[in-house]
Amino acid sequence: MRARLTCGLVVLLALSCAAVGIAAVVALRSFLGERLDQQLSEAGGAFPASLEHAHGAGEPDADNVHVDTRRQARGTFGARLLKGRVTAAAVVRAGTDTTVRLTPDDRTALAAVPVDGHCHRVDLSSLGDYQVKAVAGDDGDVLITGLPRQGIEDAETRLIAVEAAVFGGALVVAGAAGAFWVRWSLRPLRRVAATAASVTALPLDSGEVALPDRVPDTDPGTEVGQVGAAFNRMLGHVEGALTTRHASEERLRRFAADASHELRTPVAAIRGHAELAQRHPGPVPPGVTRALDRIAAESARMGGMVDDLLLLARLDAGRPLAREPVDLTRLVLDAVDDARAAGPGHRWLLDLPAEPVTVTGDAARLQQITGNLLTNARVHTREGTRVTVRLRHDGAATVLTVADNGGGVPPAIQRTVFERFARADHHRADHHRADHHRADDRRADPAAGHGAGLGLAIVTAVAAAHGGTVTLTSEPGDTSFTVTLPDAPPERPGASAV
């Protein structure tokens, strides 16, 4: 913007200088032309009149005449025409030589000059550009007097050179001064841009956000000041909205944590009573046995869901994780053994480095990452699917990848697969579909069985708590979940596990 404003000022000044220069040159040319015409009018036909009797009787010689050059300016041209033909011509020089060589074109041009009392411009090949005036002589001849225009052209050239130097210097000085002035005038706007840039660098998606200081010098009397004031008001509204959102998030986290904590006791009581009823020694009707089995299974699932919600609430609250060396290779081996036992119909493959891979973190939570990813692959793919677990140390990070050759994750679901309760809406929509549209083809559920869709959300939260990331790439026949854990996770206060 500064460059455009400065260039605009310089261009406007250049146009103004060009207009002034052209006007000055035109005015000078007109003035000097009028002076030249005035000199021709004052001179009349005195000089060419002396050509009439330069040789006495006989035919005059137009190429060799001796005339009276007294009181005549240097360069004065004179010619005598009789019956449209040049009979004599001369030009005043420094010495006594007045001869001039006229070409046929010159003679034709002189013969064409009208006797109308006005001055006319003629270009003589041997002399240059001349201003001439024709008057009638005493013997029926025409007398032409001319003065050179070289002086006018030299004056114009000098004026143009002076204007170019002066205007060029003025443009340079004005450009530098204009650039400084524009830069100084736009300082408040630069502060607005700097404040906006600092706001864009803030993580506004979640958590408590401290917005930068407001833009100073918001003078309402200037347009830039009005922009700054409006920007400050916008920042105030944004800060208020972020504060309200953060307070709402905190209330929701506390509610989730409190509700999860309070639900653990009744869920445990339901499971206990269901197990106690199942151990009843007397005969129990088959329907009651089935109902007790379902109560025990659903209460176990609800207990797992409550534990997951409590874990997420603690991670959201920034509860510290344990920071200790963890043999991630051993965790992967144990998790694959568990997955192989739970899903014998799948093909479980390992791709591990020769040396054990050790990371710093919370062993229980890292085991939960591996277990959730393998459970996700087992539940949402058909039997016979190949699931490959790879572990690599890449530079300053450890990379864990769980890949399978199943049907892939639909693009519409990939955008929300790591969100909490991501499966709920998809499960309801798919519940009424035909049996051959199985969940292992859709891969819509990021949790196991009839889970609530918290498995991959926990993976994301635990990885983030270790300073890592989780990514998904999927197409039919190749789906990969990749967890990247840095060798030096961020410091967190405390050292106890969540």
Tokens at 210, concatenated: 């401290």
Helices 187-200/150-185 angle, 10° precision: 50
Q: Which of 498, 447, 452 shows the shortest CA–CA distance to 315?
A: 498
Burial category of 463 from C-beta neighbours within 10 Å (exposed 0-12, middle 13-18, buried 19 and up): buried
Predicted model pTM:
0.48
Q: Which helix (H) or strand (E) element contains residue 177?
A: helix 150-185
Angle at 350 between CA 345 and CA 356, to 5 degrees: 145
Beta pairing, strands 386-394 & 347-351: parallel
Can you give the pLDDT at residue 490? 63
pLDDT tens column, 236-250: 888 788 787 777 767
Asked whether 481 and 402 are in contact (CB, 8 A), the reply is yes
Beta pairing, strands 142-148 & 77-82: antiparallel
Please give the CATH topology (third level) of the domain spanning 203-317.
Helix Hairpins (1.10.287)
Can you give the pLDDT at residue 344? 92
327 pLDDT above the threshold of 50: yes
445 pLDDT tier (thresholds 50, 70, 90) = very low
pLDDT tens column, 348-361: 999 999 888 898 88
Asked whether 482 and 470 are in contact (CB, 8 A), the reply is yes
Q: What is the largest CA-CA distance in the chain?
A: 170
pLDDT tens column, 65-107: 556 777 788 888 989 898 888 888 888 887 677 788 888 999 9
Side-chain-facing half-sphere of 7: CA atoms under 13 Å? 4
pLDDT tens column, 204-221: 666 666 777 777 766 677
Can you give the pLDDT at residue 257? 66
Please give the CATH topology (third level) of the domain spanning 44-148.
Beta-Lactamase (3.30.450)
pLDDT tens column, 166-186: 999 999 998 899 888 888 877
132 pLDDT tier (thresholds 50, 70, 90) = very high
Cα 495 versus chain centre, distance: 44
Tokens at 79, concatenated: 């010619």
Instruction: Please report, as a single letter, which amino acid is at residue 472.
Output: L
Alpha helices by DSSP H, 380-451: 411-414, 423-430, 439-442
72: left (phi over 0), alpha (psi -120 to 50) or beta: beta
Q: Which of 47, 41, 37, 38 shows the shortest CA–CA distance to 120?
A: 37
Q: Which residue has the higher pLDDT, 61 or 83?
A: 83
Which DSSP string do the residues of 262-320 spell out, in sequence order? HHHHHHHHHHHHHHHHHT-SS---HHHHHHHHHHHHHHHHHHHHHHHHHHHHHHHTT--
- Alpha-carbon separation of residue 310 from 43, 184, 260, 297, 304 (angstroms): 116, 56, 5, 20, 10
d(CA 215, CA 232): 6
Asked whether 92 and 51 are in contact (CB, 8 A), the reply is no
d(CA 358, CA 365): 15
pLDDT tens column, 392-428: 988 788 999 999 998 888 888 888 888 877 653 443 3
Asked whether 282 and 431 are in contact (CB, 8 A), the reply is no
d(CA 133, CA 165): 37
- Own/partner contacts of 177-180, CB < 8 Å, gap of 24 or more, are 178/5, 178/6, 178/9, 178/10, 179/2, 179/6
Lookup result for tokens 């309402």: 220
Can you give the pLDDT at residue 293? 81
d(CA 120, CA 37): 9
CATH 1.10.1060.10 holds for 324-486: no
Task: Write out the E strands in 11-136.
Answer: 77-82, 85-91, 119-124, 128-136
d(CA 267, CA 265): 5
